[in-house]
Amino acid sequence: MKQVGYLGPAGSFTEAAAATLVPDDKRVPFTTIPDTMDAVAEEKVEYAVVPMENAIEGSVNITLDYFIHHQRMNMAAEIEAPIEQHLLTSAENSADWAKVKKIYSHPQAVAQCHQFIREWLPEAEIAYTNSTASAARYIMENPNEPAAAIANEIAAEAYGLKVAEQKINDYDHNRTRFVLLTKGAVDFGHPAITKDTLYKTSMMISLSSDFAGALHQVLAAFAWRKINLVRIESRPTKTGLGNYFFIVDAAMKQDDVLIPSVVEELRALGCGVHVLGSFPCFTWEELNGARAVPQVKQR
Ligand SMILES: O=C(O)C(=O)C[C@]1(C(=O)O)C=C[C@@H](O)C=C1
């Protein structure tokens, strides 16, 4: 049995994503996203699942930055899952949840519920945690503190908390993309792969210098080959204000012709190009049926 690392503790959204993508593997929780990625590099686990991007809040910067600057590995698969945030309290605080003085949760989850917090708990102090599940666990351990966690239903059950308010995320279409990372390149086989499965090839591109039309030239290399791009993200290189690299996801599997020729053309233009992975993409619904709420089988 393989071991899959995930951002824990049990009951995080990332665990639900890992349980859906690789249900037969042993799930191993880690405290932070960098710890989870290090575990793959140090071969404590075969692979890891980490959150990459949320439909409301955008990229999970710590994942992208740690991946690029510290722990370059291979993106081997992706799963996109629905995210429903709930306000969880201890039984002691559930009736009077509007009186809680502090809200614990992961920054992405807090950001997904800004309007709810502004409207209902404007005075509450926000305390950021490593994951939504660690916030829920904290509330379990401190039931008398007038505090709440923002987390999912699995965490409510795992840590014996009450769902004081359901579905508090500000936008209905709340979804997060999670990636499965491996140390080396692998072709991720999955029984759900069909001829219609979407593949992406993710690349990191840095420009040779800043000149008019530099990014246009990069995009043209994809455009004239009719390669559809499904994401363009810029992140600071951390070498000085105004210096960026780009993460570009092409909607195709790495092949022997088109992707190598794009890479060659971009390098000829003086760009730095790294292929970060070429991987199948699944949706939660595809792998789990139409259930909206994450269910995790305990092992
Ligand atoms: O905190 C968790 O439960 C996570 O798995 C992390 C995470 C994230 O980083 O985006 C995952 C999904 C949600 O968007 C909120 C939090």
Residue with tokens 């993309």: 177
pLDDT at 26: 97
- Residue 218 predicted with pLDDT over 60: yes
- Identify the three-state secondary structure at position 250: strand
* Closest alpha carbon to 27 in 18, 36, 35: 18
- Residue 295 predicted with pLDDT over 80: no
Distance 242 CA to ligand 1 centre (A): 29
Same fold, 3-82+175-183+191-288 and 86-165: yes
- Residue 244 predicted with pLDDT over 90: no
- Confidence band for 299, pLDDT divided at 50, 70 and 90: very low
CB of residue 133 inside a 6 A radius of ligand 1: yes
Share of the chain above pLDDT 90, in %: 86
Looking at residue 171, what DSSP letter applies? S
- Residue 146 predicted with pLDDT over 50: yes
Nearest CA to ligand 1 atom 15: 109
Backbone φ and ψ for 185, nearest 5 degrees, come out as -70, 130
- What single letter denotes the amino acid at residue 136? A
pLDDT at 210: 74
Distance 132 CA to ligand 1 centre (A): 7
- The CATH number, out of the four listed (3.30.360.10, 3.40.190.10, 3.30.9.10, 1.20.140.10), of the domain defined by the range 86-165: 3.40.190.10
Residue predicted with more confidence, 5 or 290: 5
Distance, CA of 37 to CA of 27 (rounded, Å): 14
Q: What is the mean pLDDT of residues 91-119?
A: 96
CB of residue 14 inside a 6 A radius of ligand 1: yes
* Closest alpha carbon to 103 in 114, 234, 83: 114
Record: fold of 3-82+175-183+191-288: D-Maltodextrin-Binding Protein; domain 2 (3.40.190)
266-283 tens-digit pLDDT: 999 999 999 999 999 999
The domain locations on the chain are 3-82+175-183+191-288, 86-165
Cis before 9? omega within 30: yes
- Sign, CA torsion 106/107/108/113: positive
- Residue 204 predicted with pLDDT over 50: yes
Nearest CA to ligand 1 atom 3: 12
Ligand 1 pocket check: which of 108, 134, 178 to mutate, most ligand atoms within 8 Å of Cβ?
Answer: 108
Distance 137 CA to ligand 1 centre (A): 15
- Confidence band for 185, pLDDT divided at 50, 70 and 90: confident
Other beta carbons less than 10 A from residue 153's beta carbon: 18
Ligand 1 pocket check: which of 6, 84, 130, 131 to mutate, most ligand atoms within 8 Å of Cβ?
Answer: 131
50-101 tens-digit pLDDT: 999 999 989 999 999 999 999 999 999 999 999 999 999 999 999 999 999 9
- Residue 109 predicted with pLDDT over 70: yes
Count H helices, E strands: the chain?
10, 15
- Identify the three-state secondary structure at position 260: helix
